[in-house]
Amino acid sequence: MRSSWAMCAHMFKLAHISDVHLGPLPRLSIRELFSKRITGFVNWHRNRRKHLFGGTLDVLLDDIRAREVDHLAVTGDLVNLASGIEIRAAASWLQELGDPRDNSVVPGNHDAYVPGAYEKSMRAWYDYVRGDLAPDEWQEDRHIFPYLRIRGKVAIVGCSTAVATPPFAASGFFGSRQARDTVNMLRAAGEAGLFRVVMIHHPPIRGATSFHKRMIGIRRFAAVISTGGAELVLHGHTHLNTLHWLRGQTGPVPVVGIASASQGPGGIKPAAAYNLFSIDGSPGAWKLKAERFSLNVTGDDVQQESVVVLDT
């Protein structure tokens, strides 16, 4: 990826992947399985293992690199059961992905699968989930979300809905404290004339997923976007390629979801894909083009699936 620190004049290219679900699933101890993980472990071997493939992720990333994007947004679920082995493996994967300054991550429900997992994940991945002005070192009991990163003409605001949930639940939570801070960040970025991108894992759209997988705080998030302002919202979680809209300060704000980056072809859900956003223009006249590139039927390359102009 090109370094995006001094990029203000040229068109900004932002890629988006989600639900990486790095595999294969490691061997887990009896103690690790004596929790909600047992249901996920069974689900993996009965269902996910048949459709999630690590090679598809590599195909997507190779294509993203070839397009020389300025920044990559990853909207959660890097792991499956949030075991210590998986969290460390994801940390190594992030290091291979590239410079933390050029890759922004927010966590998903699988990254906070059981109590305590969220803190371990965020500590291990800290450089990729912190804002520009955050301390260099991880600090216990400190709120790191929302974070703000400024890259050229783009402000990236990372939010977290990741919380540990009971067995057979995969819901997320967006609370009032995070909402207030997000509004303040969005307002400041808007006043600075920046194009504002909000990253979140769960879809902030009512009915976008089943009840037990929903985001608690959808109305609160919608109020954040309508009062704080934004030009684009990115999410994952559903493993679907979707486009919804939220009311913004000056007009509708696109809310874009993407298929799992590890979904092989031929499954019930769409094959692995990534979004590529081309951002240009200025406040009041932003130019936004969204292209989706999906895995082909043989799984060895990607193809352009759609192009949509989403000027805001």
Confidence (pLDDT) at 4 = 44
SS3 137: coil
Tell me how far apart the alpha carbons of residues 65 and 1 are, in angstroms, rounded to a whole number: 6
Tell me how far apart the alpha carbons of residues 261 and 187 are, in angstroms, rounded to a whole number: 32
In terms of pLDDT, which residue wins out, 66 or 36? 66
SS3 172: strand
In terms of pLDDT, which residue wins out, 8 or 310? 310
- Give the length of the chain: 312
Task: Note the pLDDT tens digit of each residue in 108-166.
Answer: 999 998 889 999 999 999 999 999 999 988 888 778 999 999 999 999 999 999 998 88
Task: Note the pLDDT tens digit of each residue in 199-254.
Answer: 999 999 999 999 999 999 999 999 999 999 999 999 999 999 999 999 998 899 99
SS3 49: helix
Confidence (pLDDT) at 22 = 86
Confidence (pLDDT) at 24 = 60
Tell me the CATH number for domain 16-309: 3.60.21.10
Q: pLDDT band at 53, cuts 50/70/90?
A: low
Q: Is the pTM of this model over 0.85?
A: yes
Angle between helix 218-228 and helix 176-191 axes, rounded to 10 deg = 20
Tell me how far apart the alpha carbons of residues 50 and 71 are, in angstroms, rounded to a whole number: 31
* Residue 231 CA neighbour count, 13 Å, CB half: 29
The answer, yes or no, to whether residue 178 has pLDDT greater than 90, is: yes
Tell me how far apart the alpha carbons of residues 88 and 225 are, in angstroms, rounded to a whole number: 34
Tell me how far apart the alpha carbons of residues 202 and 210 are, in angstroms, rounded to a whole number: 11
Confidence (pLDDT) at 265 = 87
Q: Which residue has the tokens 């043989």?
A: 298
Tell me how far apart the alpha carbons of residues 247 and 204 are, in angstroms, rounded to a whole number: 12
